[in-house]
Structure 1
Amino acid sequence: MTADQQVDLSEKISTAVTAYITALNSGTAEEIADLYADGATVEDPIGAPLRTTRDELVEFYGIITGMPHREATVAWTKIAGDTAVFEFTLVTGTDDAKFTITPVDIMVFDENGKVTSMRAVWNPSDLEQI
């Protein structure tokens, strides 16, 4: 990969991470699934069964996008090669019960800037009711 290709991929990755957070805030499960390449895997959290189909991704993200309250904010992002690592806080829930979690996501991308794998670093004790 040339330096120019690397810069281009880094820009695509940065754009995809921003789109992911935006979609967590106000998008649909389908829009989030569109950020993934065909055959991508999601392991959220690490150790959970892999989600490997678009239908599984839409079902998974539909839990978040179906919440009446959701707000995701990025703390930091690092991009190197084909990989982005970022920490964000996600607050979800209803008016009666809200939860917060701060995972670290590790995403690997293809040359088109589509996610080929996502692994979320968190455990159930990180989920807090607020």
Structure 2
Amino acid sequence: MGASRETILETIQKYVDLVATGSSADVVALYADGATVEDPVGSDVLTTREQIAAFYGALDGLEQEGRLLFARVAGNEAAFSFELVTKAGDQTYTLAPIDVMTFDDDGKITSMRAFWAGEDLIAGP
């Protein structure tokens, strides 16, 4: 049957909010058992909960803001873009990846692939 469009959109919004201001444990809780993460596309695919937790652990303690730019849902899949602004001292770093996710019947993320490259990271004052 699949998760409803509303459930998937809620998970996406939670993901954006938690990546910006939540803990890595909160982000990992959005993932189903056996989920995969490829961020960015072309890097090693993370296949264990421990690998995924370590990946998001790099965000813990950072001063960030995030906002969803757009989302498109089709069946149990979605593509969306969000802007993540990270503050480090007097510098800010802005990244707006396009993420493609699949979801299980409960709206948990079963796979995530993030489309971005180094030149998409914008540094500013």
User: Please, which runs of 5 or more residues in structure 2 have no aligned partner?
Assistant: none
2:51 matched residue in structure 1: 56
Give TM-score scaled by structure 1 length. Answer: 0.89
**Shift in Å, 1:53:** 1.3
Aligned residues between the structures:
124
Aligned pairs (5 A) from 1:25-104: 25-67=20-62, 69-104=63-98
Q: Deviations over 1:93-130 (max 9, x none)?
A: 32233211110000000111110000001111111111
Q: Bigger shift: 108-117 or 48-57? A: 48-57
Query: Match for 1:40: what amino acid?
Result: A
Checking the alignment, whether the CA contact within 8 Å between 2:40 and 2:114 is kept in structure 1 is: yes
Cα RMSD for the two superposed structures? 1.3
1:23 aligns with 2:15: no
Identity of aligned residues (%): 40
Q: Bigger shift: 33-42 or 96-105? A: 96-105
Checking the alignment, whether the CA contact within 8 Å between 2:93 and 2:123 is kept in structure 1 is: yes
Larger helix percent: 1
User: Please, which runs of 5 or more residues in structure 1 have no aligned partner?
Assistant: none
Distance (Å, rounded) in 2 between the aligned partners of 1:93 and 1:49:
27
**Shift in Å, 1:9:** 2.0
Checking the alignment, whether the CA contact within 8 Å between 2:97 and 2:115 is kept in structure 1 is: yes
Checking the alignment, whether the CA contact within 8 Å between 1:64 and 1:92 is kept in structure 2 is: no
> Where does structure 1 differ by over 3 angstroms across 4 or more consecutive aligned residues?
none
Aligned counterpart for 2:104 among listed residues 94, 110, 113: 110
Give TM-score scaled by structure 2 length. Answer: 0.92
